Structure 1
Amino acid sequence: MPHKVQFVRELSELPLAEEERLELEKVTERYPFFCTSYYLRLINFNDPADPLRRVVIPDPAELESWGRVDPSNEANYTVMEGVQHKYESTVLVLASDRCAGLCRYCFRKRLFLKGSEGRPERLRDVQALVRYLERNPRITNVILSGGDALMLPTPRLRELIQAVRRVPHVRFIRLGSRILSYWPERILNDPELLELLKNYSRPGKRIYLVSHFDHPRELTPEARKACDLLLKAGVQILNQCPLVAGVNDDPEILAELFRELASLGVSPYYVFQCRPTLGNKPYAVPIERGYRIFEAARGMVSGVAKRVRFVMSHAMGKLEIAGLTREWVIFKFHRAAREEDTGKLLLYRRNSTAYWLDDYQELVEEVPLGNAVPV
């Protein structure tokens, strides 16, 4: 019999010892807890180090003073409520301020914080979005994210997709969603949603779903079936995930994730350096250690599973962590907020304790596009 999904918001509903629950409730006073019953059933609560437990169950170390509310300075690129325009051809829309579960390392947890930081940011005026897109003909793609785009009711999602599709120079739409891992029944039990995506994912005007699987155990039979239904509806699926301590910071685990995704027809897309957001210290892996883990994992796979990149979403742009020498760490602008930075290499003196670009103190060299030389 199919499991009826419920949304769990109280730690008292989990199989936790009272002492542990009381300790974790101190964390949830600051950073909320919520998750689907579907995902909670995947966790081995007898194992304190269970990787899926690490994804959603609070950790007392989250209260350590570390990080910022908005480490990528998204506010600087917000052009109207719920709309960010950081890269010339791409607009990101915070279409929803809801998720099916709160990842403990969420970089946009400001949407869910209790207190002054948690303020509304989602899109409310669809026509204002359309007018903005129409005024900017170099925009070719729109990302509907949040929160989670697929937490929107299907009629609201249809309204958004239809509105964006009326803008002729927008060639494709991306849906940012964790639904496949937290709540695959959202796909399995909504034929109206699948029909909507099928109708609007056409050659030359494709819809992409950017999924978020962190660990191979999230690829359950239900998740696999949901992926297959989306692919049959003409949706292209790309997967991105952060590198998270205690979850996937192991080359074997990461390689298995890449292989399993590729076998399903889901392209491994990005592995992100965990952003230094408030509360994220227990989940962050130092950049240089992360690079070695990532490259070891890539060395174990081939073909489409090998196209994935290790990147950092910095305020200046999307920087690929491109290499290490004995002395330097090498970053490359994969996508730059300033067009003139595109392709530029940044060479810094190595720092094994760095978690973010800003932690590197000694810039050795900047190499503009076209002037790169072998290291």
Structure 2
Amino acid sequence: MSHPTPDIRPANPRFSSGPCAKRPGWTLAALEGALLGRSHRAKDPKAKLAEVIDRSKAILGMPKDWRLGIVPASDTGAVEMALWSLLGARGVDILAWESFSKDWATDVTKQLRLADARVLSAPYGRLPDLAQVDPARDVVFVWNGTTSGVRLADADFIRDDREGLAICDATSAAFAMDLPWPKLDVVTWSWQKVLGGEAAHGMLALSPRAVARLEAHKPAWPMPKIFRMTKDGKLNEGIFRGETINTPSMLCVEDAIDGLRWAESVGGLPGLIRRSEANLAAVAAWVERSPWAAFLAEAPATRSCTSICLRIVAPWFAALDAEGQAAAAKKLAGLLEKQGVALDAAAYRDAPPGLRIWGGATVETSDIEALLPWLDWAFAQVATEFDKAAA
């Protein structure tokens, strides 16, 4: 098997699913306004932190009565704060269909050790049975499976008259997908995903219902300082005005502001969604005519426009054992990296062997289109090598 070497290369080969590509045209000059060597509690740095919060809320169309804060430890920290602070008041359902959602299930069942916890799971490529979600219970879920490329098509499984809280990890969905705020109570994300910001900081959004739970519910376990969102039984409002729990990086804050301003320049949330969906559409058109690649997400409506996960369906690949499939997929991603056309495009380590191409809004569709012929080229090289080995 052979395939001609493509003539065109992506202008930007960065297709990592996190940290993700910087916005088009980004240079270090974007950070020149950073307030370095300053206390984050001073007036001007605190105003920068508040700017991140205010611009984020405006772009995302978050309801005015929601709180949004900057918290430690990226999206993971934001999710952990929600789980440790809010759960335990009633039973909880955890939806698990990829690596990170399985991590949240582990936290709830093995670390918090909640007795009344149900894990509703599905294999990579599918969603759990959403009809099993009980509106009387809390529910924890990801909106977009970063490691599986499977996203929720809608939130119809969440009742408007629910008694429990809907806690949503939206880190690879926020700014690329339209989140239905009335259906949600807690939403988390990080700067290094769709807007390509620098890592280590998380965003935690709380509905009035979530705030009421925080003020009424006292967890049965000790709460580390970085998880505490209440003081004397009341919400610590300062967290949601830019008074962070721990010291933030003002360099990262400046970068986040730059990303948000860029988002506004491309049309806000509708523009960001259009950019991500265009990337998915380009890959989908290629997959449609590909003899060897398919989406890991089985249902078209659940295919992610950010973490686009592909599996290999060639007969020779299917005939390999698990170790052989992993080796072939690794070889494929390695060839793309060696050619400098796709960096960090291998599937997540716990996912089925294949490729994962980030299609978030900071990625140009022209770069996706330039990459696709290289996927065919690299596959042909790997197929030839493994055919020879089999012979």
Normalised by the length of structure 1, the TM-score is: 0.28
Which has the larger Rg? 2
Which protein, 1 or 2, shows the higher relative CO under an 8 Å CA cutoff with sep ≥ 6? 2
Higher strand proportion (structure 1 or 2): 1
